[in-house]
Amino acid sequence: MMPTEFQGGMSGWRMRRRQGVRYRLMSYARRVLKCSVAVIFAFAVSNAHAEDPLNVILILADDLGYGDLGVTGARGFKTPNIDRLGREGVVCTSFMAASPVCSASRAGLLTSRYPPRTGVVGVISRNQRDHLPLEEVTLAERFREHGYATGIFGKWHLGNHAAVWPLEQGFDEWQGTVGSNDMGPGRPSLQLRRAGKAGVEWVTQSEVSEINPDQTLLTRRTTDLAIDFIDRNQEGPFFLYLPYNMPHTPLFVSDAFSGSTVRGLYGDVIAELDDSVGRILDALERFGKLEHTIIAFTSDNGPWLIFGDHGGSNGGLSGGKKQTLEGGMRVPLVIRFPQSLKTELKRAQLDSRLCSGLDVGPTLFSLAGLSWNDRVKVDGSDISARWRRISPQEERQRPFFYFFERQVRAIQYGLWKLQVAHTDRHTPDVAKIGHGGVRGSVISVSRPQALYHVGLDPGEQVDRSGDAPTESERLSAYLDVARAIAATPKPAFLKVPEE
């Protein structure tokens, strides 16, 4: 018996064959048309994206620890607005600040370069001439090249003179403090610093406009300025950098949030920060810009553990600020994706892959649909492909180097971390932890070379050198590269006038 398709004789077979060919041609044509429409649509979206680039807001907390958000297990207070950013985007749980101290970390964040390359390797005190060199290309300069309005409201801490302040580094507007909220000219006493009377300078554009601003209003004031900036820049794209002064000690909070959490003053401060994020979200929604704005939230380094109840939580990691242990540099990174990117990006993601503050700039640029100019060597890269629905290629893994000033302290690749032998002079003395705003004490600890799997052992307790020699060898092979970066010649800083 003939198969069904051959029944009816050869003439019938030929007719069915012609019909089949015609059907396949029509089917093929439909597929081609469908693909063409998809390509045209993608091009139109891409073209519209390029003509109408997304706004970008980068929020930076000061000394907020890994465990200080609801999404990372905070206790005694809640952060519903920051958590919302993660639900509508991504939370990176293996994100490393560029340094365990603030000036160096900010230099890395704004340039996408390891701090030793920039010359900013530690904390720039009020009496130093060090600064972020004008030759460095900041995120603000890169955004401004694409026609963005650029504003910074909050703490600068990358130089003490107007010649190197934000308006000389790519920002159109600035109001905020020169450095930390305990910094002033000379050597203010600990009592004055705790009282918020250290001579803290508030700058408007390039002029010191106020000495010792009311620090109970710093967070609200900074947020008010941010919302005003958004309001005034509704017509065009903007880049808003929002480096809050809190929760760096001394801690201050407005009356509206005083006593609002069971965690005490530290919890109250974080609650007000979270409310500020909520106010910014509300303002964007009110202006019709929420779904056209990328929002990123992170911290400059880990918590200052020696302050006890006035310091944050490392969330079970080891160490804190000024240490290259996990708790000193691993901080939350939360990015909200606008609805305009929902077809490209998956929301509510928890990403445990290694990334760092050096990657923030290239990643935000990619998400905003902008091209990154490679005229200056950077150490970070765009990691947004890992969150896209269709990833064009497998992400190339890279090592991450932990520097303390110009010393290589550790190298991480994936979830393996090689600790380089060093003396840690900032280990909190557990017998002398501070309380109520009084600083505690530190001790020196000699830390041997060791290999840790920080995915399984985030507290860095078990040396795996003996059972993972291949990983030790692979990480050790990067030591010369890291040491070469650490040895980058110090730049010639500007000769600013004596004060």
Residue 7 lies in a domain: no
Residue 22 lies in a domain: no
Tell me the average pLDDT across 119-137.
94
Residue 302 lies in a domain: yes
Say yes or no: 224 and 367 in one domain.
yes
Cα–Cα distance, 393 to 355 (Å, whole number): 17
The last residue of a domain, from among 373, 398, 423: 398
Say yes or no: 421 and 466 in one domain.
yes
Residue 409 lies in a domain: yes
Neighbouring residues of 127: CB distance < 8 A, sequence distance ≥ 6: 160, 185, 186, 187
Q: b/e map of 327-336 (b: 16 or more CB within 10 Å)?
A: bbbbbbbbbb
The gap from C-alpha 235 to its chain's centroid, in whole angstroms, comes to 26
Say yes or no: 367 and 423 in one domain.
no
Instruction: Count up the domains in the chain and report the number.
Output: 2
Mean per-residue pLDDT of the chain: 89
Tell me the average pLDDT across 234-241.
96
Q: Which of 161, 176, 259, 243 shows the shortest CA–CA distance to 215?
A: 176
Instruction: Give me the domain span that covers residue 385.
Output: 53-398
Say yes or no: 384 and 458 in one domain.
no
CATH number at 66 reads 3.40.720.10
The last residue of a domain, from among 347, 381, 398: 398
Say yes or no: 154 and 61 in one domain.
yes
Lowest-pLDDT range, 19-33, 60-74, 204-218, 458-472? 19-33
Say yes or no: 296 and 443 in one domain.
no
Name the band, by pLDDT with cuts 50, 70 and 90, for residue 336: very high
pLDDT at 271: 98
Q: Which of 325, 316, 198, 328 shows the shortest CA–CA distance to 250?
A: 198
Pairwise pLDDT comparison (348 vs 371), residue with the higher score: 371
Say yes or no: 71 and 99 in one domain.
yes
Is the pLDDT at 352 greater than 70? The verdict is yes
Say yes or no: 435 and 322 in one domain.
no
Is the pLDDT at 308 greater than 60? The verdict is yes
Say yes or no: 341 and 471 in one domain.
no
Cα–Cα distance, 95 to 64 (Å, whole number): 13
The answer to whether 472 touches 418, Cβ cutoff 8 Å, is yes
Say yes or no: 308 and 444 in one domain.
no
Residue 498 lies in a domain: no
Tell me the average pLDDT across 144-161.
97
pLDDT at 393: 64
The last residue of a domain, from among 354, 380, 398: 398
Give the active site residues. 102, 157
Say yes or no: 186 and 262 in one domain.
yes
Is the pLDDT at 45 greater than 50? The verdict is no
Lowest-pLDDT range, 101-115, 259-273, 389-403? 389-403
User: Which DSSP helix (H) or strand (E) runs through 109?
Assistant: helix 102-111
CATH number at 446 reads 3.30.1120.10
